Chains A and B, each alone.
Chain A
């Protein structure tokens, strides 16, 4: 009988420590969770406002990300133009940029004296910072890359010959996209949208920097968690954290197949 190779002890030990490192915070959260008062913590007016605002902002941010990100992803996948690689890299900036820096950058661009913001203010009377719209902008900024990257990969991965076939049948560009490209890529596009939504829902740094922390206007769940912790109301903070954790787990479960397939 062949002797089985001995597992490398050192690697197994360190790996175990790393796995525990991921697990321990979750255990801590669950152990300290105020299960008995959970409902009242979540239906507390401030919590309800934050939940509602978070839902609205993250959905609008997803709409913006899909509405602007899909065409961008399609162009990046299908149109050859000088500087395409540069634009592709640009899309990834919000992924690697610290969100706080993103928020500062947004202020300098869309603030009342910002690059574009001054004209928005002067010509249209639109002010983004410290408004709900500003929170949406901040969330869309950090969330859109997830949509663009996923959608571009999907568009590049489709068999172009089906689109050629559709064109020989007289289908114009939009018809080809709607009736051929979209049906073959929608699972990936939906996954990208869900990822973008989840990222928008959890957004903190860019939002608090660009949109501030005004209850009812810009205080989304993560910001509310921060406020509660600051004022020592741990139970409320944990209750809202559990909501975000639940959403994360749900997204993970929903997209597990795709990720496992991609790995």
Chain B
């Protein structure tokens, strides 16, 4: 692997210890997911150089940024990084253009050159006409775009985003997420997104790294993690079945399967079905659930009390049932089962 991020980080802050390894090739977006206090922000601060590591090594594009054994430490201001902070942290006394130009000017560009380039970046994020606006005059979505432009303007090798969508309301979030994905794809360095939202991780990242209590508990693509979540937290968070489809009049076509939903949206949508909301039975259920279909068991993952069952049909979903009912239903690979989901249990988000 050349040019990517290779980090082994061992750092202690108070009573908390973060001990993770992370390898990200250029051009890949990794989502770091974890509950509050898992060490996500500590990880970001260590990568950015705001927190020197206690042991390990951080290398980016073949250059060592932090290595306590050799004493090598590249300071924050000299690292080729761009950070989009959680609350954006746009400088309140500067206009949008000056905010975006800040990094360029700090790195030695003349005011004219910096402004010129900042203007181009603002235009790229669709805010070419808001150059003078102060941060407090910007909406949440606009502020997020300015923060992104500011981080990208210095063309960093490593782009770090800390909960870039968390501060936005649901409607803004959908558009901003789509644009963010486009800008991330266009950036050719290493991209790292910290989030606690499965949908954000799924939409933005190629790979997901889950950390809990300072350790990496699991990593892989969303599909891999969904199939075999290794902890309760992961199961709850990314264990959700995410299905893409097209909605018309409260019905969604998902790969040929038609599902009823409780919301009136149209167009491309993402559906989220929690595995525990799915009921399985061996015979066609006499149920009030509006969504019922037949499928074939394609893998059963048993833990102490629960079993996660993959059911293949036109779409594949994972259902979670108790270990007792899995035994009772005799759910083995190849078994034919009926799947039932209430319309109200399906989360809907425009894609």
Which residues of A are at the interface with B, using a C-beta cutoff of 8 A? 161-162, 164-172, 175, 179-180, 183-184
How many residue pairs, one in A and one in B, have C-beta atoms under 8 Å apart? Answer: 58
Which residues of B are at the interface with A, using a C-beta cutoff of 8 A? 48, 50, 75-79, 81-83, 85, 87, 89, 91-93, 102-103, 106-107, 150-151, 154
Q: Is the CB of B89 within 8 A of A169?
A: no
Q: Is the CB of B93 within 8 A of A184?
A: yes
- Expressed in whole angstroms, the Cα–Cα distance for A183 and B77 within the complex equals 20
List 10 extra interface pairs beyond A169-B77, A184-B92, CB under 8 A.
Answer: A164-B76, A167-B76, A168-B50, A168-B79, A168-B81, A168-B83, A168-B151, A171-B103, A171-B106, A183-B93
Q: Is the CB of B91 within 8 A of A168?
A: no
Closest 6 CB pairs of A and B: A169-B103, A171-B106, A170-B106, A167-B76, A165-B89, A170-B107
Q: Is the CB of A171 within 8 A of B93?
A: no
Residue of A167, A179, A180, A184 near B77 (CB, 8 A) is A167
Q: Is the CB of B85 within 8 A of A172?
A: no
Chain B hits for A164, CB < 8 A: 48, 50, 76, 85, 89
Can you offer 20 A-B residue contacts whose CB atoms are under 8 A?
A: A161-B89, A164-B48, A164-B89, A165-B89, A166-B91, A167-B75, A168-B48, A168-B83, A169-B77, A169-B82, A169-B102, A170-B77, A172-B77, A175-B106, A179-B91, A180-B91, A183-B91, A183-B93, A184-B92, A184-B93
Residue of B78, B79, B83 near A165 (CB, 8 A) is B83
Among residues of B, the one whose C-beta sits closest to the C-beta of A186 is B93
Among residues of A, the one whose C-beta sits closest to the C-beta of B83 is A168
A164 to chain B minimum Cβ distance, whole angstroms, is 5
- Expressed in whole angstroms, the Cα–Cα distance for A164 and B91 within the complex equals 11
- Expressed in whole angstroms, the Cα–Cα distance for A254 and B232 within the complex equals 60
Residue of B82, B87, B93 near A168 (CB, 8 A) is B82
Chain A hits for B87, CB < 8 A: 161
- Expressed in whole angstroms, the Cα–Cα distance for A169 and B153 within the complex equals 9
Chain A hits for B106, CB < 8 A: 166, 169-172, 175
- Expressed in whole angstroms, the Cα–Cα distance for A34 and B55 within the complex equals 77
Chain A hits for B93, CB < 8 A: 183-184
- Expressed in whole angstroms, the Cα–Cα distance for A172 and B107 within the complex equals 9
- Expressed in whole angstroms, the Cα–Cα distance for A109 and B150 within the complex equals 53
Q: Is the CB of B50 within 8 A of A171?
A: no
Among residues of B, the one whose C-beta sits closest to the C-beta of A159 is B89
Chain A hits for B50, CB < 8 A: 164, 167-168
Q: Is the CB of A171 within 8 A of B92?
A: no
Residue of B75, B92, B102 near A166 (CB, 8 A) is B102
For B75, B77, B151, the residue with the greatest tally of chain A CB atoms inside 10 Å of its CB is: B77
- Expressed in whole angstroms, the Cα–Cα distance for A184 and B77 within the complex equals 21
Q: Is the CB of B83 within 8 A of A171?
A: no
- Expressed in whole angstroms, the Cα–Cα distance for A179 and B92 within the complex equals 11
Q: Is the CB of B102 within 8 A of A171?
A: yes
Q: Is the CB of B102 within 8 A of A179?
A: yes
Q: Is the CB of B154 within 8 A of A169?
A: yes
Chain B hits for A170, CB < 8 A: 77-78, 103, 106-107, 154
Chain A hits for B107, CB < 8 A: 169-170
For A162, A169, A179, A180, the residue with the greatest tally of chain B CB atoms inside 10 Å of its CB is: A169
Chain B hits for A161, CB < 8 A: 85, 87, 89
Known contacts being A170-B106, A171-B77, is A165 close to B85, with CB within 8 Å? yes
Among residues of A, the one whose C-beta sits closest to the C-beta of B108 is A170
- Expressed in whole angstroms, the Cα–Cα distance for A251 and B48 within the complex equals 45
Among residues of A, the one whose C-beta sits closest to the C-beta of B100 is A169
Among residues of B, the one whose C-beta sits closest to the C-beta of A172 is B77
- Expressed in whole angstroms, the Cα–Cα distance for A169 and B159 within the complex equals 12
